Structure 1
């Protein structure tokens, strides 16, 4: 199993602007990489970390056992961040971090069904307790048109139609390798010879759909903006264009006044009356050295917003 190396770790700590006695939330605990670093900067401060994966929670509890006095794991989906914190009587925080990448250990366990590199059941659920929708159900129950739409919308797969058609003719499919074989058989040789795994886009699309990742992210950001104290920040690390779109739209809505487009055309300067401001105008990307040492980092981007 590969070690999970947190992406943009130093930048995350810098832009969270951690205060020793502050209250912070790691919305994506995973294997505790970012959480463990945040805790090093807290004295009497508190970190709440959210995750819905029971295996990740168990491993992180072991890893961070020495700091449990100011560290609390919230078992749930970060789409419920406000409710999860309210159960702890927390209604305002100083900073919130999202690392939206799937942790490496999840990919490395074939039984989870996330990886096209290991054979296993077509599962792909982050939450194996409450979520009943598996990738197997999607593959075997959706129509050809629905599958095509999922692969195109969430994976930007150019050969979505051909792959969906092949799945319909071949199913039922039960394992990841069975799906990989169908995908490979659906693609032209020139595509199969290209760099990168031919099943990557379809597997990404299924994972996003099964876990409703786009709607979950949008809902969570809306709540997080309301939870921030003045000078509090939200730091988000994205890994693909769909996540980027949600973050850009959410941050734009929070930082641009409804009258901005009208005011910008007037020959006078009017102060922006929104509650939030962007700390960085363009997203931060990892340095070349990080990309060389951690392949997961190559598509990552960091976005930061602050409450005034």
Structure 2
């Protein structure tokens, strides 16, 4: 067993601080010949640490954001042939790895959700802290949040905000959006945040803006984030060599629930099933084995250094030598809008 690798401190100028970096490296235990895949390159924090772990290890880094790809070219040059940085979605990581032809995959890391660079760039439209266009697209294609807000019907908006944003007042928010867009197209983040704040009250003592959950729901829908996560889990399972490890960092309950259920089903820990995966979980081949016992959380030092890490959870598994089972289709129900909630009770 290799000695656990501790992460070097992130450069002071880094626009994004990778969360649970030392813990991710301990879980992956990278080293030796082969390839590690960073499915969410961002500012390159995990990639840089993986490159430093062992000079024999090569890294395939993926990002759907063209700005991240452009910003990572200096690291590509610095890595001197050990880093391939490719545009794409991490749900296709197995295909991208095959195209790269880099060899056996020893580890995969996924840092789910929006990056600090995206949140802190007003023109990307992810945040309401500074007014900007209502965009929210991680890539450069597809409908924007403005398209969704202005063109989706009221019931669909309510479902998105309720299920993906976990906003209990989703019907009231959708109704307010519907009324507002009758007066003109909703184009800005501040405009939408004001509409939401008109019907959702801030919780006493809370520092969370009333529009936070609505923005989360729209962002997840625009980028199909949960669907991409499901596809990435299956892709990592297919591409990992026996003994290779998968580490996933999540930031809210919807993401963590998907990862937890998938890992439980594939490692045989869901012995009695669940309301989400009743039959398939029981019959799943044990293609994965746990590395972490439950979620790994940030420590006090990291929380003080990086408050955005407060909701992070790390889970990790290792690939066994068992054949890859059929896709776990039931897990997709956790990533989609359940038909049973359409028209259901909401306030």
Is the aligned partner of 1:138 residue 2:148?
yes
Q: Is 2:174 the partner of 1:161?
A: no
CA RMSD of aligned residues (A): 2.0
Aligned residue number for residue 206 of structure 1: 218
Secondary structure of 2:53's aligned partner:
coil
Q: How does 1:95-244 map to 2 (within 5 A)?
A: 95-128=107-140, 131-171=141-181, 172-188=185-201, 191=203, 194-244=206-256
Q: CA deviation at 1:23?
A: 1.1
Residue 257 of structure 1 deviates from its aligned partner by 7.8
Does structure 1 retain, via aligned residues, the 8 Å contact 2:38–2:109? yes
Equivalent residue number for residue 19 of structure 1: 31
> In 2, distance between residues paired with 1:45 and 1:156?
41
Q: Distance in 1 between matches of 2:303 and 2:312?
A: 9
- Given that 2:266 and 2:288 are in contact with CA atoms closer than 8 Å, whether structure 1 keeps it comes out as yes
- SS, match of residue 120 in structure 1: coil
Unaligned runs of 5+ in 1: 263-271
Higher mean alpha-carbon deviation, 205-214 vs 94-103, is at: 94-103
Kindly indicate whether the alpha-carbon contact (under 8 Å) linking 1:24 and 1:95 is maintained by their aligned counterparts in 2: yes
**1:289 shift after superposition:** 1.2
Instruction: Answer yes or no: is 1:302 the counterpart of 2:318.
Output: no
Q: Distance in 2 between matches of 1:132 and 1:112?
A: 14
* Aligned counterpart, 2:60: 48
Question: Which runs of no fewer than 5 residues in structure 2 stay unpaired?
Answer: 1-12, 274-283, 321-347
| Structure 1 residue 199, shift from structure 2 partner | 1.3
TM-score (norm 2): 0.81
TM-score by length of 1: 0.91
**SS of corresponding position for 1:299:** coil
Kindly indicate whether the alpha-carbon contact (under 8 Å) linking 1:99 and 1:237 is maintained by their aligned counterparts in 2: yes
